[in-house]
Structure 1
Amino acid sequence: MVLPDVRLLLVQFIVHEHPVGRAAQNYLAHVDLERFGLAGQREQLWLRPCQGGDYVVACLPFRVYGLALNDRVRLSEDGATVVELLERSGHRVLRVLFTPRSDQDAFMARITGEVEIAGLAFEWSGKRHLAVDVPQDASPVRLFGVLQEEIDAQQAYWEWADVEAF
């Protein structure tokens, strides 16, 4: 009898409920977040297969650093883990963590509306963590203004996902 690896039973998986690149066929692999200071956590990434056996990121990483939408990556031999960034797409991921508030659902709707007005793809992780795709040609000035108000009020904290390399 083969017993499961007990370490995997203790791992918290960060998942994407509504990945921006969901297609008829996607592939799931994970990234161990220990290398980014998040021991015991792994993020499940949605991928699209491309020619040559590589994959393209089809979601907006919530915790993984150095990856963005449409980046080309290589998987481990067993296909379970993203192990290498092969080519950057030119997209960036803006991540925002909002503080808890009593009107969380209304607040989420307002922020979602602002991101939609900016014409940007986005994903929520829970009700407080937002990831926004920012392509090279995007100019989300209005959205940045709205987010800056939250930051100035100490109601939000932000980072670019590429501040650390993959």
Structure 2
Amino acid sequence: MRSGPSFGRRSITIITHEDPIGRGPSNCMIHADLSDREDGWREQLWTRQLTGDRFEVACLPFFTYGVCYRDVVTIDGNHLMSAVVQKSGHRTLRVALVAGHRDRDQLHELLHGKVARAELPHEWLQGMYLAVDLAPGTNPAALVEALESPAQAGALHWEIDS
């Protein structure tokens, strides 16, 4: 996450992807506006340009709801995502570890091991936020089972977005 330029009195905070799963030599970056949840926030999305204003998402959105890996989106004149025009069928499982929880580091290791062993494409943000790609036909039951007990203990929050 980084703070960007200040426009007037409002600064822009941009959530970035350090290691997007679809990184390639011809990626383009667009932004998704998150100001409906946090004023001045945006998420930088790695994409592949398909046409002048159509882009295929090449990362796992951490905070941009309704957008998943390989979805096709359009942008406006400011390179802000304006609409999802084609869904890919992928879903995103998101996990947010609770910062002050005593088991946070152990949960990070446990979850990282589970997604790696299951060979599920995933991205981490600051070691606290996990996004996992659920390609069409992927059954997340084993991962969801591992999340239920820590969620009940207040150590994490999780959701699946499509």
Flag whether TM exceeds 0.5 (same fold).
yes
Q: Does 1:94 align with 2:75?
A: no
Give the letter aligned to residue 94 of structure 1: L
**Corresponding residue number in structure 2 for 1:142:** 142
Structure 2: which 5+ runs fail to align? none
Task: Give, in angstroms, the shift of residue 150 of structure 1.
Answer: 1.2
Contact in 1 for aligned 2:57/2:73 (Cα 8 Å): yes
Which stretch of the first structure deviates more once superposed, 114-123 or 4-13?
4-13
Q: Note the alpha carbon deviations across 1:100-126, whole angstroms, 9 max, x for none.
A: 345655542321110122221111111
Give the letter aligned to residue 27 of structure 1: C
Q: Distance in 2 between matches of 1:7 and 1:74?
A: 27
Task: Give, in angstroms, the shift of residue 30 of structure 1.
Answer: 0.4
Q: Note the alpha carbon deviations across 1:121-158, whole angstroms, 9 max, x for none.
A: 11111111111111220012221111112112221111
Q: Give the CA RMSD over aligned residues.
A: 2.1
Structure number with the higher strand fraction is 2
Residues 41/53 of structure 1: CA separation in 2 closer, same or farther (3 Å cut)? closer
TM-score by length of 1: 0.84
% identical aligned pairs: 34
TM-score by length of 2: 0.86
**Structure 1 ranges of 4+ moved more than 4 A:** 101-106
1:145 aligned counterpart, secondary structure: helix
**Corresponding residue number in structure 2 for 1:12:** 13
Contact in 1 for aligned 2:103/2:155 (Cα 8 Å): no
Q: Distance in 2 between matches of 1:38 and 1:97?
A: 17
**Corresponding residue number in structure 1 for 2:84:** 85
Q: Distance in 2 between matches of 1:40 and 1:9?
A: 7
Give the letter aligned to residue 45 of structure 1: L
Count of matched residue pairs: 157
